[in-house]
Amino acid sequence: MYSYFLFLLILIPFMGLSAWASMKVNSTYAKYDGVPNSSRMTGYDTAVRLLRKGGVREISVNRVKGSLTDHYDPTKRQVNLSESTYGSASVAAVAVAAHEVGHVMQKQSGYLPYRVRTILVPAVNIGSRLAIPLVLLGIILDLCLGISTASGALSAGQWLMYIGIALYSLSTIFMLVTLPVEFNASHRAKRMLEEEGILTSDELRGASKVLSAAAMTYVASMMISLVYFLRFLLIVLSFTRRRN
């Protein structure tokens, strides 16, 4: 009971940070979505221009439903811009479009954290489905068959529990690797917008605020993921200690 209270005590501030970050990104985007950029370029225009400037011609720029649902899909070679970004000529729309092109440029240049994150995607997808079932199966086996051999080696049940923990940790590692990927994409976006003269210096400050607010959502998500992983790990370790 005490450990669960401590878990909540640690988790709640990060949940608050996540909620604040979400509100911040929405309010900041809304503020600068009402500020037209001086070049009158839309999110679509910006993405196409930056891609062509970077020598990338095999990537299409598409419109997708929703607001702030912008993303780069490397498997389909698509930069997908949300309805709030695609046709808008605001400072916010241009910033978001440039950020997604930043991910394209990361792939083109072989940016290491981006490559690591791409490699982790299939493992994370599998791990998120198998982690908890493996831990539960390990607990059942451990209760039914015993925890260790005469030599003190791990039992089959304990092996399954620790494999489940390792798979669960992949999502936290993925979130950790995501941070430099997102920060770097924003850095690339601001540099490209400045070099191409798409935004003025004043407009760039607004774009920077939009991108910084979005980055905070990734920081909050990573911290929450880490807290849940540590809680999960401590539960398993506590169980095995009691069994021992």
196 catalytic residue (yes or no): no
Highest mean pLDDT among 10-14, 92-96, 160-164, 239-243: 92-96
**Band (154; pLDDT cuts 50, 70, 90):** low
Q: Quote the domain boundaries for residue 14.
A: 2-243
How distant, in Å, are the alpha carbons of 17, 85, 87, 133, 239 from that of 140? 37, 50, 55, 11, 12
Total domain count, the chain? 1
Q: What is the mean pLDDT of residues 165-174?
A: 92
Report the chain's mean pLDDT, rounded to a whole number: 89
Q: What is the mean pLDDT of residues 119-135?
A: 91
pLDDT at 174 > cutoff 90: yes
CA 50 – CA 102 distance, rounded (Å): 9
DSSP 76: T
pLDDT at 242: 65
DSSP 90: B
Other CB atoms within a 10 A radius of the CB of residue 23 amount to: 11
pLDDT tens, 189-202?
999 999 999 999 99
Active-site pick, 58, 83, 100, 203: 100
Q: By three-state DSSP, how is residue 81 classified?
A: strand
pLDDT at 102 > cutoff 90: yes
Q: Are strands 60-64 and 71-73 parallel, antiparallel or unpaired?
A: unpaired
Q: Is the pTM of this model over 0.75?
A: yes
- Per-residue buried b or exposed e for 143-158, using 16+ beta carbons within 10 Å of the residue's own CB: eeeebeeeeeeebebb
- Sheet with 60-64, strands from edge to edge, namely 60-64, 78-82, 71-73
